[in-house]
Each structure stands twice: as structure tokens, then as C-alpha cells.
Structure 1
Amino acid sequence: MGRAFEYRRAAKEKRWDKMSKVFPKLAKAITVAAKAGGSDPLMNAKLRSAIATAKAQNMPKDNIEAAIKRASGKDGDFVELTYEGKAPGGVLIFVECTSDNPTRTVANLKSYFNKSKNSTLLVNGSIDFMFERKAQFKFKTNDDLDSIELALIDFGLTEIEKAEDEESTYIAYANFEDFGHMQQGLESMPSLEILSSKTVRVPTTPIEVDEENLEIVEKLLDKIEDDDDVLAVYTNIL
């Protein structure tokens, strides 16, 4: 994949290792899911996936339960927002947020882009078509991969791959519309341990970025991802 990819991955893993930032973001995702589809995980696939992701990050049970309860109160009045931008070297950036104050959120993002060299926040819809929404599931198993793949095809599996540097761990993909169906399929297989389940945005045309521009982009991404309202950031970097 090249040095740029390795640098990007290492930097991102280092950032998300900060539990002080991760837990509040995970809690917000749980609250939003419970607000939208109800507080019963059995009846709410999005909530189940948010809880599974939180558990995989070792988020305490009390924190998870508190986030679910928060959905029924005034503190649960979050809205889901998306923003799009561009950076040097042809880099496209798609940002997913949840916020109780959209005015604050957009002001912060505009500031991050404006202060970054040759970067700008775009009008929504400008680059949305450059990313494909997919359902992504990470799980562990010691079962035969071929038999698992055959079983999951009926639930919408489109692709499966071995997770890098993680033994007996795999990443499966399905179409965005098949998220709930695929989640049910994985949950029906007792030999699998689901580590995370989420929707992601995959660039349709990934690009390589030179080191000079990559350094600028990384600093911008650091600012964006550290924002409390930001849940996920996607780029077209290879």
C-alpha cells in the first residue's frame, strides 16, 4: 500500500487510542441509535452495532447503559450531520457528526479547513458521489473461512478479508441496505465473536498523496477527529 498508507493508519490508530476521546464518541453513537430506533437492542440493529463497537473498545457496561438512558432525556437531543471538504493533493474529506448545536459544529469545521493550507469546506453533495456507503463487520472466529463465506452470502455478504496483524480476525462487507440483514446473519453464528459493526464510506477512486501534502492533510485530520461532535472521517487516500 506504500508509506503514505502505513503512516496514515499508524497515525489514526494512535489518535483513537486516546480513551478520553473515544468513550464520549462511542456513548454519543449509542445515544443517537437509541433515540432513533428505541432502547431495546434486540429490536434495534443500529443500537446493537453501537454497543458491540463500544464493548470491543472495552467501554464499561455502566457507561453503555447510561448512554442508552440518555436517549430518553433532553441530553439525547442530537442530530446527525455530514460535511464535505477538500484538501491539498486532490484529497477529499467526508465527515460524519452528531451534535446538539449544529451552528457550533459547522463553525468549528470551517475553522479547521480555513486554517489548513489549500483546504476548504464544500457545499454538501459536492463529493458524496465519490464515496460508496457499505456495511462493515469485524469478527473473530476459528472456523473455516470458506464455510463462513458461503453461509453469509445469503445475508448479503459482498466481500470478506483477513484483518491485518490480527489472528483469526476478519472484516466482512455488505451493501449499505443489507446492514440489518447481515448483522442478523453474523449474530446467528455462535462460533463468531462480533468485534464491531458499522456503516462506512469507501472512496470509489482512491489516490496516493505525496509526503508534503500528506503532512498537511494529517494535521487537518487531527483537528477534525479531535472535535467532540465528529464521529467518523473518511478520505480518498489509498
Structure 2
Amino acid sequence: MFLRFPIVPSQPGQGWLARLAQRQLTNSPAQCAGHNKWSKIKQKKGANDASKSAAFQRATQDILVAARSGGVDPDKNSVLAAVIKRLKAQDVPKDNITKALSKAAKVKNSGDISTYEAIACNSVGIIIECATDNANRTVQTLREILNSQNARMASVGYMFTRGGVVVVQIENGLDADERLDTLAEMALCEGAEDFEVLSSEGDSQPRLKFYCDPSALSELTSKLTKQSGVTVLESQLDHYPVDKTTLSDEDADVLEQLISALEGRDDVVRVTTSADIP
């Protein structure tokens, strides 16, 4: 609120106090120049840009992990081919994919992809997978993030099992249910140990998630990729909790902040926990 004093002609011989007394105080609303709206737009744009940057960085890490399993040639590495196909569907720029492949070729020979274990909320196991060329730097950074959320490095490997996972999507068609049954039967004969039907938005295109032994991942992915009307959305090695831990709302919030901080680091490829998160 601004105070505006109207100009009052002074009379000869009047002192400044008398002239001030004649002035009337009026209220005038502050004039906004639209800065608040622009500020919100900039904040939203900044958040979107940060989200895009994180997605592109994640794409690089996905390619690094896939290349580790069978080289940087998509024609010879079906896992990598599946990852690239998924990234293109997500509109990741071609230049980003090319740069990631170049980096993967270097990291495959000179860098390390390491797994670190930690515990949070006194009972939640955490597996942190990292792609780095400086293990000492990565460990120090992880410890700082963990300590900030009252978590710490600890051996929790016994809380998880290691396995491969392949997620596929089936094109729409009148025989969708029959296609699901046929595909599941074929996958089980080609190394899949189990599967589940995943719900999708509107259930427009059915999706199946197959689980397999790590040694069977590449072959299973290759077989599924060659199936007509089937798109491989994901193919990777992953950790699965043996038993899931139920958390209070307070601990769930703490864990969410910790995961977000870890995934925000360039070196971190993937974070897996034993928490029962819906």
C-alpha cells in the first residue's frame, strides 16, 4: 500500500506543519506489473526442463547398462536394441542416443558399473546401481546423501534376489486374449520362469511382464522382439525384494526424499528398495 499526498497550495506565512495538516491521506492499491505470473511460468518451465534433462540422463544410463550386457552394437545385442527402441518411442533425441552409445563404448572398457547396498528407516534395504569412472567420488557422494536422511551403507543383499525382466506390449486386436495366452506359453518355453499381466491406462494395449534367470535374459528378449505385433518396452536385469517392508507414512516420506536425492545424481542408474510401495 502506498501513501499518496496531494499537493496543497501553501498560504503566505504558513509553516510546514500547517501545510502538512491540510494534506489528506489517500489509499492507492499497488500496481502489479505481471511479475508474479511470469515467475510462475519460469518456475514451471524450469521444472519441465529439469525433468527433461533427468529423462535424457536416465536414457544415457539405461544404454550404459544394456551395453554392458552384450556390447554397443544393437544388431548383436538384443537388450540394447530393446532399450533404444523404447527411448525412441519416448521421443529421446537421436543425438542423445548417439552420444550415449559413444560413451558406452568408452565406459565398457574403462569405467565401472557398481552396485552399492544401504539401509534406511532401520529396516528398508536399498540397492543402488551406478555407472561411474570414479568409484571413490561416487561412494563419497552416496554416503553424503544417505547420511542426510539418516540412512547408511550396509549389507542387505540377502533381502533381494537377482533376475531378468522383460516387459512387452501387444498391439490392439480382436484376439488380444488369445495372443496373451500364446505369447505367455512361448515365453515360458524360451526361458521365462513367471509372468504377470500389467494394467495400462484405459487397458487399450495389453502388457506382459516376464521374469527369468539372468542368463536367459538376452535370448528371451530376442525371441520376444521377433514376435509379430509385439513391442518390447523394457529388458533389463533387476533386483527383487524377497520380502517387502511396510512403512509408516512418516518413514515413507523420508524414503521418498532419499530415493529422489539418489536418482538425481548423474552416476546413479537405478535404485531398488525392499519397501512395499504401491
Question: TM-score band, normalised by the shorter chain?
Answer: 0.7 to 0.9
Which residue number corresponds to residue 157 of structure 2?
128
Q: For residues 207 and 116 of structure 2, what CA distance do their matches in structure 1 show?
A: 32
Aligned-pair CA distance for 1:29: 3.3
Q: For residues 43 and 18 of structure 1, what CA distance do their matches in structure 2 show?
A: 32
Q: What is the aligned-residue RMSD (CA, Å)?
A: 2.5
* SS of equivalent to 1:209: coil
Give 1:1-238 correspondences, 5 Å limit: 18-31=51-64, 33-34=66-67, 37-73=70-106, 77-117=110-150, 119-122=151-154, 126-141=155-170, 142=172, 143=176, 144=178, 145-166=180-201, 167=203, 168-238=206-276
Q: For residues 164 and 41 of structure 1, what CA distance do their matches in structure 2 show?
A: 29
- Looking at CA atoms only, which structure, 1 or 2, has the larger radius of gyration? 2
* Higher RCO structure (Cα 8 Å, ≥6 apart): 1
State the AA in 1 paired with 2:152: T
Q: Using a 3 Å threshold, how does the CA distance of structure 1 residues 231 and 71 change in structure 2: closer, same or farther?
A: closer
Q: For residues 95 and 74 of structure 1, what CA distance do their matches in structure 2 show?
A: 18
Which residue number corresponds to residue 17 of structure 2?
none
Structure 1 residues 7-52: Cα deviation after superposition (integer angstroms, max 9, x where no partner): xxxxxxx99x922112122213324544664332121234224323
The count of corresponding residues between Structure 1 and Structure 2 is 220
| % identity of equivalent residues | 28
Q: For residues 50 and 225 of structure 1, what CA distance do their matches in structure 2 show?
A: 19
Aligned-pair CA distance for 1:72: 4.2
Scaled by the length of structure 1, the TM-score of the pair is 0.83
Structure 1 runs not aligned, ≥5 long? 1-13
Q: Using a 3 Å threshold, how does the CA distance of structure 1 residues 181 and 202 change in structure 2: closer, same or farther?
A: same
Q: Using a 3 Å threshold, how does the CA distance of structure 1 residues 46 and 58 change in structure 2: closer, same or farther?
A: same
Structure 1 residues 127-158: Cα deviation after superposition (integer angstroms, max 9, x where no partner): 11221112111211144211111111111122
